[in-house]
Amino acid sequence: MSITEAEVKAMEAGRLELLATPLAYAFTLDENLLEDAKELQSLPTRMRQLYNWYKDQAKSETVAFGVRVPKEIYCTGSDVMWVYFECLFYLFQKRDLDIQILSLWTM
């Protein structure tokens, strides 16, 4: 969105107001990972199962889950990688993917 100098002066004088843009849907624990619940029906089966598992886990106020990483992946011995539910939210929103999710995807 670009704004002209005349529009800036009109805003300063109180003669022009900008329309507010809606904020992006934000993560809240135990809330839907999708803004529109209708989208849930169009998800692939495994993502729907992951969503249902998240809802069960979030009820108990769990904020992350561990993923066992085989020693062959990072050559450091077996390890556990913690993935926060907020990262799942971004995956379902298809935006702002975190390094944790990208690491899991590449394994």
Which pLDDT tens digits describe the chain residue by residue (107 residues)?
A: 577 888 888 888 888 887 777 778 888 898 888 888 888 888 889 889 999 999 999 899 889 999 888 877 777 766 888 888 988 888 888 766 666 666 666 65
* Burial category of 65 from C-beta neighbours within 10 Å (exposed 0-12, middle 13-18, buried 19 and up): middle
Note down the domain range covering 53.
25-106
Alpha carbon distance 41, 79 (integer Å): 35
For residues 39 and 56, the answer to whether their CB atoms sit within 8 Å is no
Single-letter code of the amino acid located at 56: D
Residue at 14 is within a domain: no
Alpha carbon distance 32, 72 (integer Å): 35
Residue at 6 is within a domain: no
Residue at 12 is within a domain: no
Per the structure, the count of domains in the chain is 1
For residues 48 and 33, the answer to whether their CB atoms sit within 8 Å is no
